[in-house]
Chain A
Amino acid sequence: MRRQNEHVIPPETRATPDLSSGKYLVMWQGPQHPGITGNMSLRLVADGDTVVDCETHVGYLHRGFEKLMERRLWMQNFPLVCRIAVPEPDFNEYCYAAALEELAGVTVPEKAVWLRTLSLEMIRLASFLMWIGGQAGAFGHGTIAQWSVTMRDYVLDLFEELSGGRIYHMYIIPGGVRGDVPDGFLDHVLETMQVIKKNLDDIELVMFHNAVFKMRAVGLGYIPPDWVDKYGITGPNARSAGVARDLRKDLGYLAYPQLDFKLITGGRSDAFERAELRLAEMYQSIDLIRQIVARMPKDGPFRERLPNPLHWKIPAGETYVAAECTRGEYGFYVVSDGGDKPRRVAVRGPSYTHAVSVMERLVRGVNIADVAGLMVSLHTYPPEIER
């Protein structure tokens, strides 16, 4: 068993086990496995019950989004982009919309800026709620998953009220947002935040003071601070290693510069601290949502008038727009050749590094039973790798 605060750094070079020796077991974890986040699989080589080598395999959910986007009008891509990261569609909508606005020289009204911020924080909370259920479930705590998925559904109820859609919202569009808040919506938001905060208190008590969770998560998947730049690690995985980076602060996009919040960082950088840090960021999201509701303009336009989307040509140019999603840096690289369709759209998801390079190295030396917990602790979504 690992000792608390024991930091084991896995070897950089891959093991070359002699698979014909009869000493090793090759096993696949996924793509259909309760301990896998989404449609991906891990090819594990185990010596006894210890993993000595791992390969990440993706592609089970590849739908060719980036190719499809080159063949569709700028506006026709909105039903596509939101599907790239299923639990967090709004970050895709924001990055793509902001890239188009930058290239086309469109300015977004003040009210839309606040509504976009509200939408992004609501989906951040929903995504974290889904994650914490998976993290608890990976260590055998199914009850917490039932609680947190219920709480996530309450947030999805809010999205349904706001946009008409529960999973995919297509609420953030170029020029602003698709509609104003319905009557009574902001009151519903505040009531829901109160319910979720109460539930988070229960989760904190039941999960983070549980001896089994502590014994299995402490020391698991230690990420040294010098890996952050070496592997392109971002988000809570980087912040739990003590690296204070958050694009909401660093880039200061949308209404974040006007909101009062501090970066949450750690230092132990193991699965337990990553979970603690994300829980703290969930409380922070609730606080940010309350601030947004209190400060956002009640009147004014929520969308800038745009040209006919069927004939909208965007001036030639390129840009990269990024935002801080629950897992780190999420970005869209968009190239226009002056036509009515994108020349190239490339999506940068944090799972690209976390689930492949980082995961493959971190899993070396880990017990097979802890692989699922380690993977969920990195908070990865395979669809954003495959696009």
Chain B
Amino acid sequence: MNELAKELAARYGARDWHDRRGDLSSTVVDPIRLHDTLAWLKDSAGYAHLSFATAVDNIERGVFTLTYTVRNHEQGHSLMVHADVDRANPVVDSIHLLWGQGWTYQREMKEWFGIDFPGSPRVDEEFVLEGWEGPPMMRRDFDSLAYSDATYEGRPGRVTHDPATRMQERLYPEAGK
């Protein structure tokens, strides 16, 4: 796979190549070259199968790390292509013309992380969160408890206990005295 790493580095500035397993490697490209990298991998390097696309919120670095995993079935090798996108302005080129299912992953990333893919079909439509009005829920700074308290009403008659205190009271009542 070293030839592929060199080729990607020369063509698209790919860096940080890691062989994770015998059949799995990863590399990093700039987001501006992400689409072209994936197009070349698909059309010229045999990585025609898109396994999945997703994002990781690396909030400490102020980026979303996009991950596109493509597979070359003839060589039995998968490659994870990463790209760090500015968290403050997450806009990425769409891959919906490369793979027919690409728009679905992008629609999900728009809804879950707030990453935009201009031109991607139905990218602004709701995916799984019908009627969602909060911030993108997969962001690390999304406060699910505050959102829940503000959005939903508590069930009447329900009492919530602190687990540690509750268990101590139930199992070791003498210890609390």
A-to-B contact residues, CB < 8 Å: 58-59, 62, 64, 66-67, 102, 227, 229-232, 245, 250-251, 317-320, 322, 329, 331, 333, 335, 343-344, 346, 348, 352-353, 356-358, 361, 385-386
User: Provided the pairs A59-B128, A333-B69 are in contact, do residues A320 and B51 lie with their beta carbons within 8 angstroms?
Assistant: yes
Asked if B78 and A320 sit within 8 Å, CB to CB, the answer is yes
Q: Beyond the given A230-B100, A317-B20, A318-B80, please list 8 additional residue pairs across the A-B interface where CB-CB is below 8 A.
A: A250-B73, A319-B24, A320-B69, A331-B51, A333-B52, A333-B54, A344-B57, A357-B100
**B76: CB under 8 A from chain A?**
yes
Would you call A59 and B126 a contact (CB within 8 A)?
Answer: yes
CB distance from B133 to the nearest CB of A (A): 15
B5 interfacial by beta-carbon distance below 8 Å: no
B49 at the interface (CB under 8 A from A): yes
Partner of B101, one of A59, A232, A333: A232
Contacts of A320 on B, CB cut-off 8 Å?
24, 51, 69, 78, 80
B51 touches A229 (CB 8 A): no
Task: Say whether B129 faces chain A, with CB atoms less than 8 Å apart.
Answer: yes
Pairs A–B under 8 Å by Cβ, sample size 24 = A102-B21, A227-B100, A230-B99, A230-B100, A232-B51, A232-B99, A245-B73, A250-B76, A251-B76, A318-B26, A318-B80, A319-B20, A319-B21, A319-B24, A333-B67, A335-B56, A348-B52, A348-B69, A352-B104, A356-B101, A357-B100, A357-B103, A358-B100, A358-B101
B63 at the interface (CB under 8 A from A): no
B23 interfacial by beta-carbon distance below 8 Å: yes
Interface residues on B, range: 20 to 34
B127 interface residue per 8 A CB criterion: yes
Most buried by B among A322, A343, A358: A322
Beyond A231-B101, A329-B51, A352-B101, whether A318 also contacts B128 by CB under 8 A is no
* A-B contacts at CB below 8 angstroms, number: 83
Contacts A232-B49, A318-B80, A331-B52 hold; do A58 and B128 have CB atoms under 8 A apart? yes
A67 touches B137 (CB 8 A): yes
What separation, in Å, do the CA atoms of A329 and B101 have in the docked complex? Answer: 15
- A67–B101 CB distance below 8 A: no
Closest to A347 in B: B52
Q: How far, in whole Å, are A346 and B100 apart by their CA atoms in the complex?
A: 20
Whether A357 and B69, one on each chain, are in contact in the complex, defined by CB atoms closer than 8 angstroms, is no
Q: Is the interface of B mostly helix, strand, loop or mixed?
A: mixed
With A67-B137, A352-B101 given, is the CB distance from A58 to B127 under 8 Å?
yes
Q: When the two chains form their complex, are residues B73 and A322 in contact, meaning their CB atoms are under 8 A apart?
A: no
* B141 interface hit (Cβ, 8 Å): no
**B168 interface residue per 8 A CB criterion:** no
Contact with A along B42-81 (1 / 0, CB 8 A): 0000001111101011000000000101000100101010
The answer to whether B52 touches A231, judged by C-beta atoms less than 8 angstroms apart, is no
In the complex, residue of chain A having the shortest beta-carbon distance to the beta carbon of B142: A67
Query: Closest chain B residue to A355 by CB distance?
Result: B104
* Cα–Cα, bound, A39→B78 (Å): 32
Q: Whole-angstrom distance between the alpha carbons of A219 and B23 in the complex?
A: 37
Q: How far is the CB of A8 from chain B (nearest CB, A)?
A: 18
Known A58-B127, A59-B130, A318-B26; contact A344-B101, beta-carbon cutoff 8 A: no
Cβ-defined contact, B51 with A322, below 8 A: yes
How long is the Cα–Cα vector from A229 to B41 in the complex, in angstroms? Answer: 13
The 5 closest A-B pairs by CB, nearest first: A59-B128, A229-B48, A348-B52, A357-B101, A346-B54
CB of A53, distance to nearest CB on chain B (Å): 13
Q: Are B78 and A357 neighbours in the complex by a CB distance under 8 Å?
A: no
* Distance between Cα atoms of A59 and B103 in the complex (Å): 17
**Judging by beta carbons under 8 Å apart, are A59 and B127 in contact?**
yes
Q: Which residues of A contact B138 (CB under 8 A)?
A: 66-67
Give chain A nearest CB distance to B22 CB in angstroms: 10
Query: Residue of A at shortest CB range from B107?
Result: A356
Give A337 Cβ to nearest chain B Cβ, in Å. 9
The interface residues of chain A lying within 8 Å CB-to-CB of B127 are 58-59
Residues of A within 8 A of B23 (CB): 251
Contacts of A356 in B (CB 8 A): 101, 104
A317 vs B20: C-alpha distance when bound (angstroms): 9
Q: Which residues of B contact A335 (CB under 8 A)?
A: 56
CA distance A64 to B134 in the complex (A): 14
CA distance A227 to B100 in the complex (A): 9
> Once the chains are docked, how many angstroms separate the CA of A98 from the CA of B20?
14
Contact between A232 and B50, CB atoms less than 8 A apart: yes
Q: Are B126 and A353 in contact (CB under 8 A)?
A: no
